[in-house]
A and B are shown apart, each in its own frame.
Chain A
Amino acid sequence: MRDVFSWFNDQILRMEWLSDLVAAMLTAIGIDPLGRWGGSLHFFAYDVIKILILLGSMIFALSYVQSYFPPERSRAILGGRRGLGALTLAALLGTVTPFCSCSSIPLFIGFVAAGLPLGVTFAFLISSPLVDLASVILLAGIIGWPAALAYVVLGVVLAVAGGALIGAIHMESEVEPFVYAAPVHNGDPGAPLTRRMRLAYAREQLVDIVGRVWPYVLIGVAVGALIHNWIPQALIDGVLGQDKWWAVPLAVVAGVPVYADIFGTLPVAEALVGKGVGTGTVLAFMMAVTALSLPSLILLRRVVRMRLLTLFVAIVTVGIILTGYVFNALIPLLMA
């Protein structure tokens, strides 16, 4: 059983066969895949092909599952619930609801207008970009399954805690008034989706998402290749080394202005882990990029006032930094 598991990890998720294949092809045309330039080329070609294959199949499969959870349905499931149960459910639904940053604002308005508590809405909004099922599976190929599962658990805990805090402080007056006045439209009436329609939806999502994120993947892989072969080990150890207390906060600060899809951050994460940077530090960077992106904060400002926005940013930042430290402490224990 364990052999099957590690075979799956090495050959399917890490695609070691592809790595060998690319290396063989480079050697065949006279490039040394272990040299500096050859190594960069090898990392780039192997990673781009790998991520696009995994990304494509994963988005297709998960979009099929997600077609069962349109936002209108999540809202109906959450309606009328209160307390910790509602927060946890919201955070979990956030991980399976189809979500693109361009729909986060209508979603926020739709939840609040329907009378969902602010805390529940924020629990959903925090977990949705943070814990993406497709990226978690890819992440498992880089940092292993125990750490990837721990990432999901901590992401959901962070969303629940953040939502609970925002709910407890009663920030309802910090939401722009027009949000409460919005009518509630219950999505598409009519017959439930057939399997063919779900498959068509999954294909549509695949084309849309890959069409949107491929430049980020290319840039991410290029940065990864740079880290992998060109940045001196001593520099990485000195700035982001495991023994440096500032590594985690620095990773968060570096991540905020970066606007990238979570898929674009994966190759950077892979290269950093390869250079021996702490897993918590790498995860903190990824979380900061996805959950605290500047463009989505600017959009959010249109529906909530500055105080609530600041509180949201503060809670998420502290949560990410804590997650980073916990992971850096935990991973050596998990690996032992």
Chain B
Amino acid sequence: MQIKILGSGCRKCQTLAANAEAALAQAGRTGEVSKVTDFAQIAAYGVMSTPALVIDEKVVTSGKVLSADEIAALMNG
């Protein structure tokens, strides 16, 4: 699955990206975590508070740092 972290690269975005990596392993999924830092691209998702989590091109949360457990639950849900 395709995981994207939207945000300008601030501390919270890095934490979220790390948690997403951990969640992939935890959920036993294969996939890739990438970061989107360009404003035009972030805007294209309609997200207002960063960091935001996108799973397979769908915005799941914004403005929150989810734990690995929470992200894993979203991946399986």
Q: Which residues in A have some Cβ–Cβ distance to B below 8 Å?
A: 70-72, 75, 98, 100, 102-103, 105-107, 109-111, 113, 178-179, 182-185, 187-188, 204, 208, 211-212, 299, 302-303
Contact = CB atoms under 8 A, between A and B. Distances in A.
Report whether over half of chain A's contact residues are helix, strand or loop; otherwise say mixed. Answer: helix
A183 B61 CA distance: 16
Given A72-B49, A178-B40, A185 B59 contact: yes
Interface of B: 7-12, 39-40, 42-50, 59, 61-65
B39 A113 contact: no
A107 B40 contact: no
B11 A211 contact: yes
Nearest to A204: B65
Contacts of B59: 185
Contact of B47 (A75, A102, A185): A185
B19 to A, nearest CB: 12
Report whether over half of chain B's contact residues are helix, strand or loop; otherwise say mixed. Answer: loop
Contacts of B7: 102
Contact of B11 (A106, A109, A113, A212): A212
30 contacts: A70-B63, A71-B49, A71-B63, A72-B48, A75-B48, A98-B63, A100-B10, A102-B7, A102-B8, A103-B49, A103-B50, A105-B39, A106-B43, A109-B43, A110-B43, A110-B46, A110-B48, A113-B43, A113-B46, A179-B43, A182-B43, A184-B46, A185-B46, A185-B47, A185-B59, A188-B64, A208-B11, A208-B12, A212-B11, A303-B39
Contacts of B8: 102-103, 105, 299
A182 B50 contact: no
Nearest to B44: A182
| A111, A179, A187 pick with most chain B CB within 10 angstroms | A187
Contacts of A188: 61-62, 64
Contact of B42 (A106, A208, A212): A106
Contacts of A72: 48-49, 62
